[in-house]
Amino acid sequence: MSPPGRPKGESPSAQREGSPVSTRSQMDTQGIGVGRLVVGAHYGLSNYLLQRLTAVVLAVYVLLLGGVLLFTRDLSYVGWAGLFAPLWMKVVSLIAMAALLYHAWIGVKDIWMDYVKHTGVRLALLTLTVLWLLFCAVWSVQILWRV
Amino acid sequence: MSTPPTHALAARNRRQFRNIHVTQIVRYRLPPSGWVSILHRVSGAALFLLLPLLLWLFDLSLMSELSFARLQEAASHGFVKLVLLGAIWAFLHHLVAGVRYLLLDLQVGIDKRAARKSAIAVLAISLPLTLLAALPLFGVV
């Protein structure tokens, strides 16, 4: 395995920007620091941000739902199902469910990518995860709109 | 090639960084933040695996009065209660630890002492809350 980063002076960005080799950080050779060579598919940042955005959506939804349940204290079928009867509640719940499924997708994808070394097995697990989460999305539409 | 930079020499004297295998985790002594971190992943994975059960229970709870009664009956079995308690713990830990991570992302409490305190606080909140949920679930109160 070759180490990440390139030998000093070979970085394409260094040549493009024409910066003198001597001022470039020695970290460049380690693949870290300001002058590092950035590689990859560049979906990391948007995944990072969406993981947090969906987390906030879920936290707000769950705390509101929990608050309503504590406030009404009606845990009968009529009270519980009545909560999900209005259209706006179905829509809000479906948005929360979409946030949950996307949140789960990023998290589970990270787990497979961290621990499953075999490319074929990992690809199979990733595919099954997507299919399963899509199934859950359809299922939750059915659950919510049957009330 | 001139002499290698000093940091390269220092790096060579240290043991090379490497990822440890999952099975080696038990032999490592983790700080509270480490426990909160790995439990965040464990609880997230558990919630993902329990998703079909939770959706099925959600479905039963909403479908009809009859299915609602079926849900109550299903939830009265000891094993189901145990699984539900696991789900409740996973949910509570994931939520409380998640709030901590959001705060850390906003650079709130990122110094070593504060981060240690907040990690202990996560466990001090999620575990008693789980216990609090277990009491009515198992009919103690």
CA distance B47 to chain A (A): 9
Which residue's structure tokens are 């009968």?
A: A76
CATH number at residue A111: 1.20.1300.10
Q: How many CB pairs under 8 A join A and B?
A: 54
The answer on A121 and A88 residing in a single domain is: yes
The answer on A87 and A22 residing in a single domain is: no
Domain annotation covers residue B90: yes
Could you read off the pLDDT tens digit of each residue along chain B, which spans 141 residues? 455 555 555 555 666 677 777 777 778 888 999 999 999 999 999 999 999 999 999 999 999 999 999 998 988 888 999 999 999 999 999 999 999 999 999 999 999 999 999 999 999 999 999 999 999 888 876
> Which chain B residues touch A52 with a CB distance below 8 Å?
102, 105
The answer on A48 and A100 residing in a single domain is: yes
> Which of the two residues, A29 and B127, has the higher pLDDT score?
B127
CA distance A30 to chain B (A): 9
pLDDT computed for residue A99 by the predictor: 97
Question: Domain range holding A19?
Answer: 1-39
The answer on A6 and A55 residing in a single domain is: no
pLDDT in tens, A54-113: 999 999 999 999 999 888 877 889 999 999 999 999 999 999 999 999 999 999 999 999
pLDDT computed for residue A70 by the predictor: 87
Confidence check on the interface: ipTM exceeds 0.85, yes or no? no
Domain annotation covers residue B38: yes
pLDDT computed for residue B12 by the predictor: 59
pLDDT computed for residue A10 by the predictor: 44
HSE, side-chain direction, 13 A CA sphere, residue B102? 17
How far, in Å, CA of B92 to CA of B126, rounded?
Answer: 5
* Shortest CA distance from A108: residue in chain B: B45
Domain annotation covers residue B65: yes
Domain count, chain A: 2
In terms of DSSP H, where are the helices of B14-111? 32-63, 65-74, 78-105
The answer on A112 and A52 residing in a single domain is: yes
